[in-house]
Amino acid sequence: MTVATPPLLAASALSFYRQDEPVFGPLQFELHPGQLALVEGDNGSGKTTLLRVLAGLLHVGEGELFWRGEPLRRDHCAAEIVFLGHQLGLKGDLSPRENLHIAAGLHGARDGMDPARALLDVGLAGYEDEPVRRLSAGQKKRAALARLLMIPAALWLLDEPYANLDRHGIALVNRLLEGHVAAGGAALVTSHGAVSFHGGEPQRIRMHA
């Protein structure tokens, strides 16, 4: 008998409220290893809020979240879920290399990956040791993408990952997503632009039915 692998992440009747007003939900979805999900909805429909709930930055309103088949506990999956939102989570006075060393110290690094390699891969060669605050918006975004590339998280939560990126940066995001999913990772992505993803048909999570 084969035992089915549980989804990496599952949401059951998940809702979120602000001052008793519903922001989104109820949502029902499953995300398996190797799957990409696009979170779709108009401005203000709750896409960022959903990602912040999934990242543990906001409390679940109603419903349940499961991680690998068990009720989601932050202490069990903190190192496995990484959120990249409008705030990039970089320290401005430190260089990209220093930021990545801190991330590697906290979360570890994928096999064969280190800060120098990750920064090269995202096109930041020559900027490794500049303070992040002196980088352009797109370069800062690339430094944050290098962190994604380096740490061994299973689930990426990406809020508007294409923002501030030129066409090479957009292609880079797609390449990173394809590599992550091909390696058995999963990702939830919000984007107002078209996501050009060649790793299979993504799942769609619609904030409004």
Q: Which residues bind ligand ATP (CB under 6 A)?
A: 18, 23, 41, 43-49
CB of 187 to ligand ATP, least distance (A): 16
**Minimum CB distance to ligand ATP, residue 169 (Å):** 19
CB of 81 vs ligand ATP, minimal distance in Å: 18
Rounded distance, CA 209 to CA 206, Å? 6
Q: Are 57 and 83 in contact (CB under 8 A)?
A: yes
As measured in angstroms, the least distance from the Cβ of 43 to ligand ATP is 3
Tokens of 62: 């109603």
Question: Which C-beta is closer to ligand ATP: that of 24 or that of 127?
Answer: 24
The Cα–Cα gap between 12 and 15 comes to 9
Q: What are phi and psi of 169, to 5 degrees?
A: -65, -40
Please return the burial class of 115, using the count of CB atoms within 10 Å of its CB with bins 0-12, 13-18 and 19+. Answer: buried
The H or E element containing residue 21 is strand 21-31
Q: Which is nearer to ligand ATP, 1 or 209 (CB)?
A: 209
Q: How far is the CB of 207 from ligand ATP (least distance, A)?
A: 6
The residue assigned the tokens 């060669």 is: 125
Residue 75 to residue 68: CA distance in whole angstroms? 14
Nearer to ligand ATP, 102 or 170 (CB): 170
Nearer to ligand ATP, 121 or 160 (CB): 160
For 8, 14, 45, 81, 124, the CA distances from 186, given in Å and listed in that order, are: 8, 19, 23, 10, 25
Shorter beta-carbon distance to ligand ATP: residue 41 or 123: 41
